[in-house]
Structure 1
Amino acid sequence: MEQKKDWVKDLIVYQVYPRSFQDSNGDGIGDIPGILSRLDHLSALGINALWLSPVFRSPNDDNGYDISGYREIMDEFGTMEDWDALCAECHKRGIKVIMDLVVNHSSDEHPWFLESKTSRDNPKSDYYIWRDPKNGKEPNNWASVFGGSAWEFVPERGQYYYHLFSKKQPDLNWANPALREEIFSMMEWWVKKGVDGFRVDAISYLDKPQDFPDSAEPPQPDGYSFSSSLINGRPGTHAYIRDMNRRVFSPYNVMTVGEVASKDAEELARYVNTDREEFDMAIPFVAPIVEINTWSPKKMKQDIQNDYDALKENGWWARFFSNHDKPRQVSLYGNDKEYWEVSAKMLAMLLHSLPGTPFVYQGEEIGMTNMRFPYIEDYNDPDAKNTYHQHILAGDTPDVALKEAQMISRDNARTPMQWNATENAGFTTGKPWLGINPNYTKINAENQKNDPHSIFSCYKALIALRKSSPALSRGDLEIPETGSDTLFALKRSYNGETLLSFHNFSAEPSKIPAALVPQNGEVLLSSYDREGGYTGPNLRPYESVIFRV
C-alpha cells in the first residue's frame, strides 16, 4: 500500500548538529550563517532534506533540547532572519527543511514554567506536572535519565515538579488541553514559515500514570529507580500523537519522524503503521550502553528482517546508523583503524541498500570517528558525566569510570565537523566549544571532495544511485541465506529492476555462496573501488558490492 505522502520515500536526509557544524563569527560555536555557508557541501553530496537539531532559544542545559522559546532562535545560533535565509536557500536548492522539536518537556526558563511555579492557581499552573510531597519526600522513587531523583521541589508552590531528564527540563502536562493547543499552534506557525517536516524528540513519554506509583525496577547507586516501563508508549501518548497528526501533520502534508523508545519492531510499528495516523516513520532510541553491549552482525541482520516484516504492508522506515546521540558508526560497527575507509564505505552501502528513508549524520560522509577525551572535565554531555559519577558511587576507580563515560558519551558524535587540515579543522577561528578530534588532519572534507575513491565520493554515488533506482527507493526486500552471520545479502526488486548486494561485516574474508553469485551482474559499486573493485567470489574484510542483475 502506497502512503499518501509518497514524496517522503524520495528523501535522503542530512542531519546537522548546529553547534558543531560551522562557526561563522569566531565564538567557537556553530551557527545558522555557518550552515548556510556550507550548503554547497550538502548539494554536492546530493541530499534533498536537511534536519536541524534544535535551534530554538535555550539556556543549553542539554544543548538545545531544553527549549525556553519555541518561536525564537538561540542567540548563539543567529537570528530569525538568518533562519529565514537558510530556509529560502535550501528551498532554492530543492532541499526540504526538517526541524527538531522537543515537546515532552521545556526548559525551566521557559515563560510558561516561570509562571507555573509561582502559585497553584495561575493561568499556567497546570502546564507542568506538579505533585505534593509524600511523607515529606519526593512523590515516588523515580529516577531522572541524567541521574538522581526525577522530582524537584519548588518552595513557592510547596510542590515537586516531574522531570524525566534534567531538572532544568520539566515535563509538560499533555493532559491539559490548553497546553496541547499551545503546542499545535506553535507547530502550525513554523509550517507557515516554510518548515517541511518535524523530527519530534522523546515522544513516547507524553502520557504519565496520574497516580505516579513507585517503580519496581532495581535502584541506581544513588537510590532512585527508572520508570521507563511505567511511562513508555502508553495509550494516551498514542492518542496525543494522533491529535498532533490531525491538527498539523496531515492538513499541511509535512514529513514526520518520531524518536521513540521501543523494545521491538512491533512496538515501533505502532507509531508508524499508516492506518494509525501517527508518524511517517520513527527513530528508535536505544541507550548507547545497551547498543554497545548487545549489538552484533547477527542481531543487526535479524533486526533488519524484523523491521521489514513489521511494516512492509503498511508503513515506512527511518534508516540510520548515526545521529547526535550515538557513537560514531565506523567506530561502533566498523573498524576505525586498519579498515577505516572500507568499513565506512561498507556501512554506507549496507544502509543505502535497505528500504526506507536514509539519514546521514554530519561527518559520517567523511568517516569521522569517536573521540576519547582524557579527562571527565573535557566532556560536555550530561549523560557522560552522570555515567562517570554513577560508576564512582558504585566504587569503581576514576580510570574505570572514565572509560565507561568515554564509550557511551554523546560527545563522540558532537565533536566539531572536520572541514580541512587548518587549525580547528576549519570549524572556527576561535576556541571550539568542544574539543576537536586530533585526526582531523587526515579525516576531513577537503581531503575527500576531489578524491573519486573517498568515503565522500562513495556517499555521492550511493545517493545518486538511490535517486535513479526505483528498486532502492521503492523495492521489496529479500534477505537470502548466506550461511554466515557476518555476510549480509540483500535483494531489492521493483518493476523489473533487481539489485543484489553483499556486505562482509567482518575483518576476515568471506565467500559468497555459489548459488547467490550473479552470473551476468553489473557491478555498480564496491567498497574496494580504490583497490580496483570487486574481484569475487571471496569478499575481502569489510567489502561491500552492489550488482544490478
Structure 2
Amino acid sequence: MTDGRPPAILGDWWRPGAIYQIYPRSFQDSGGDGIGDLEGIRRRLDYLVGLGVDAIWISPFYPSPMHDFGYDVSNYCDVDPIFGSLRDFDLLLADAHRSGLKIVLDFVPNHTSIEHEWFAASRQRRDDKSDWYIWRDGAPSGGPPNNWRSHFGGPAWSFDSARGQYYYHAFLPQQPDLNWRNPKVKAAMFDVLRFWLRRGVDGFRVDVISQLMKDEALRDNPANPGWTPLRPQIEELLQLYSGDQDDIHPLIAEMRGVLAEFGDPLLIGEIYLPMERLVAYYGAALSGAHLPFNFQLLETPWQAESLGAMIASYEALLPEGAWPNWVLSNHDRPRVATRVGDAQARVATMLLLTLRGTPTLYYGDELGIGHVDISPPRIRDPWALREPSLAVGRDPVRTPMQWDDSANAGFSTHEPWLPLTPDWPERNVERFEAEPASLLHLTRRLLHYRRDHRTLSLGSWRLLASSNELLAYERRSGQETTIVVLNLGGASQLWRLDPAGSSFCVAISTYCDRAGERVDQVLRLRPDEGVVLAVLG
C-alpha cells in the first residue's frame, strides 16, 4: 500500500494523529456531583498531552433530558448545566488548542429529544415544522405504518395523540427521528455545524450517519432468518430499508461542503456495516466522511489468521487515496480488556497503534479497565432496562476514569454516577505512573514512537504472516522499515526474520523490558508478547 493521498494533503492532522474518546460523564468531575464535566476535562489536559494523543473526541454534552444520556438532544447549540456552560467549553477549547490538542465534537443529527422545541411545534403542526419529523398514519389494518424495530427493543413507531399520527424513532420513543428529506431540516442542522465551527472546533463524529436517510416509501424490512430470541430485537429484521440508502452519500457530500467553508475539518461517520458497504462512505472522489469508523477490530475473532485476513481485506477495499482508521473500544461495546483479557490487551494496544491509519483510543483503555458488574438498582442504560434478559447493557463500559487510590478514584468527591471497577485501588493512573512496565507506560511509548516515526504514522502496510498465533506485518516509509510481530497466544513462539543479513533492534516490547535488544534472524516471543522492531540494515 502507498502512503495514501497526494503529498499536499498529507498535512491533515488526523492522518498521522491519534484520537482519544472521552465520555464526559465519566472522565473527571469538577463540581462534586458524581458526574464528569467540561471543566474536569480541562483540568486533565496535561495528562492527555503527556499520553501523546493528538485530539480528543467528546461524547455529547448538549442540553438533554438524558433519557439516553445526551444522545437525546433538546438544544444543539448550548451545554447542559450538568456539564457546565458555553464559557466552560470555550475555555476547554482554548486551553486544548494552546496545548496542541484538537477537539472533535459528537454531532447527533439523526434524532432530537422529544423535548426539543422543533418536535413540540411539529406535533402541533406549527411554525412550518409539520414535516420536520417522520409522521405517518397507521397501517390500513391498524397499528404502526410498517414493521421497523427500535434499536433499543420494541416497535420503532409511537402514536402521538396530540397529532393523531405515528412518529418514527430508531431508538427510544423520546428520540424522534428528523426528516432529512426536508430541506429546512438540513439547513437547520448545517447551521448547527457552523455554530460550533465558528467557535473553533476541529471536527465532528457524526452519530449513526448511515441512518439519516430512510427508504422514501418506508417499506417493511425483511425477516432475518438467523435471528433467535437470544439476540437483540433489532436483529429480528434485516435493516434493508431503515438505513444505508443510496441517497445518503450526496447528503454527506453536502455536509462536507459545509465543513469546507471552515477549511475542511475532520468528519468521522459512525457506521456499523460490513467492510464492502462501509468503504462507500468515503464518497465519490473522497467527498464523504474523512474517516468512516472502522469497527472490524470489535467484531473479528481474536486470532492471528482472522485478524490478518480482515486487515488485508480492509486495505484492499479502500478507495484510492482513502485513509484507514481503527477502533478497539467505545462507549457502546465491551472494552478490549473484557474481550481479550489483561495480557492480550497489551498486544491489542500495540496492534491498534501500529496499524496503518488513524487510531481511536477509548478513555481508560490505557489502564486496561475491564468489565464492571452493575447491580440492577444501579442500571442506567435504557437499552439494558428495555431488554433486561440480554447482555446489551452499556453501563459497564461507561464507568468513571480511575485516577488514583483516593476516595472515588480521584474522579469525584461524591459517589460516582456509576460504580468503579473492583480493582480501582491498584488499577489507576497514579499507580501505573509509578510502574514502568504498566500498560499506561506502554501506551505512552507506542503513541510517542508512532509520532516520531513516519513508518508508523504515515507509512505503507504489508502483511508478513498470520498463522500459529503469530501476526506480523511491515510498515515502510522511504528507506525506513518497522516490523511488528504479535503473539496472540499463551505459549512462546519463534519468528524467523527476513531478509537474510539484516539486523533488527527491539524498539518496544509489550513486556516493556527489551528496548535496544539486537535480534539477528530469530525473534523469540514470550506468551502474549508483541514487539516493534526497527530494521537496522
TM-score of the superposition, structure 1-length normalised?
0.90
Correspondence for 1:396: none
* Residues 450-483 of structure 1, C-alpha deviations (whole Å, 9 max, x = no match): 3322211111111111111111111111001254
Contact 1:507 1:542 in 2 (8 A): yes
Please point out which of 277, 280, 283 is paired with 1:267.
277
Q: 1:50 to 1:321 in 2, by over 3 A?
A: same
Cα distance in 2 for partners of 1:34, 1:327 equals: 25
* Residues 215-247 of structure 1, C-alpha deviations (whole Å, 9 max, x = no match): 221487698853512233211111111111112
Do residues 19 (structure 1) and 22 (structure 2) align?
no
Q: 1:29 to 1:519 in 2, by over 3 A?
A: same
Correspondence for 1:329: 336
Partner of 2:348, secondary structure, is helix
Letter in 2 for 1:228: Q
Correspondence for 1:459: 443
**1:138-537 matches, cutoff 5 A:** 138-218=144-224, 225-226=236-237, 228-249=239-260, 251-264=262-275, 266-272=276-282, 275-284=285-294, 291=299, 296-311=303-318, 313-333=320-340, 335-336=341-342, 339=343, 343-373=344-374, 375-388=375-388, 401=389, 404-405=390-391, 408-484=392-468, 486-513=469-496, 515=498, 519-530=502-513, 537=523
1:312 is displaced (CA, Å) by: 6.7
Correspondence for 2:137: 132
Letter in 2 for 1:362: Y
Structure 1 residue ranges, 4+ long, deviating more than 6 angstroms after superposition = 531-536
Correspondence for 2:58: 52
Cα distance in 2 for partners of 1:483, 1:518 equals: 24
Letter in 2 for 1:491: E
Partner of 2:76, secondary structure, is strand
Contact 2:297 2:328 in 1 (8 A): no
1:372 is displaced (CA, Å) by: 2.0
Q: 1:223 to 1:384 in 2, by over 3 A?
A: closer
Cα distance in 2 for partners of 1:532, 1:91 equals: 33
Identity percentage of aligned residues: 36
Cα distance in 2 for partners of 1:246, 1:514 equals: 48
* Residues 152-207 of structure 1, C-alpha deviations (whole Å, 9 max, x = no match): 10111110000111111111100000000001111011101010100111000111
Unaligned runs of 5+ in 2: none
TM-score of the superposition, structure 2-length normalised?
0.92
Contact 1:525 1:547 in 2 (8 A): yes
Letter in 1 for 2:482: L
Contact 1:273 1:311 in 2 (8 A): no
* Residues 233-265 of structure 1, C-alpha deviations (whole Å, 9 max, x = no match): 21111111111111224653201110012112x
Partner of 1:156, secondary structure, is coil
Contact 2:465 2:473 in 1 (8 A): no
Return the structure number with greater helix share.
Answer: 1
Correspondence for 1:395: none
* Residues 476-521 of structure 1, C-alpha deviations (whole Å, 9 max, x = no match): 110012542x211010001111000100111222221455798410
Q: 1:546 to 1:312 in 2, by over 3 A?
A: farther
Partner of 2:484, secondary structure, is strand
* Aligned residue-pair number: 520
Partner of 2:464, secondary structure, is coil
Letter in 1 for 2:244: G
* Residues 408-455 of structure 1, C-alpha deviations (whole Å, 9 max, x = no match): 432222011011111111111112111111110110000112332221
Letter in 2 for 1:126: D
Q: 1:321 to 1:511 in 2, by over 3 A?
A: same
1:105 is displaced (CA, Å) by: 0.9
Letter in 2 for 1:425: A
Contact 2:28 2:411 in 1 (8 A): yes
Please point out which of 50, 70, 77 is paired with 2:76.
70
Name whichever of 273-282 and 412-421 sits farther off: 273-282
Contact 1:509 1:538 in 2 (8 A): yes
Cα distance in 1 for partners of 2:90, 2:425 equals: 34
Letter in 2 for 1:445: V
Do residues 37 (structure 1) and 43 (structure 2) align?
yes
Q: 1:307 to 1:223 in 2, by over 3 A?
A: closer
Kindly report the root-mean-square deviation, in angstroms, between the aligned alpha carbons of the 2 structures: 2.3
Contact 1:18 1:55 in 2 (8 A): yes
Please point out which of 122, 126, 130 is paired with 1:116.
122
Please point out which of 92, 98, 110 is paired with 2:104.
98
Contact 1:245 1:277 in 2 (8 A): yes
Letter in 1 for 2:241: L
Cα distance in 2 for partners of 1:287, 1:527 equals: 19
Contact 2:215 2:243 in 1 (8 A): no
Partner of 2:138, secondary structure, is coil
Q: 1:92 to 1:223 in 2, by over 3 A?
A: closer
Partner of 2:482, secondary structure, is strand
Cα distance in 2 for partners of 1:10, 1:131 equals: 47
Contact 2:295 2:328 in 1 (8 A): no
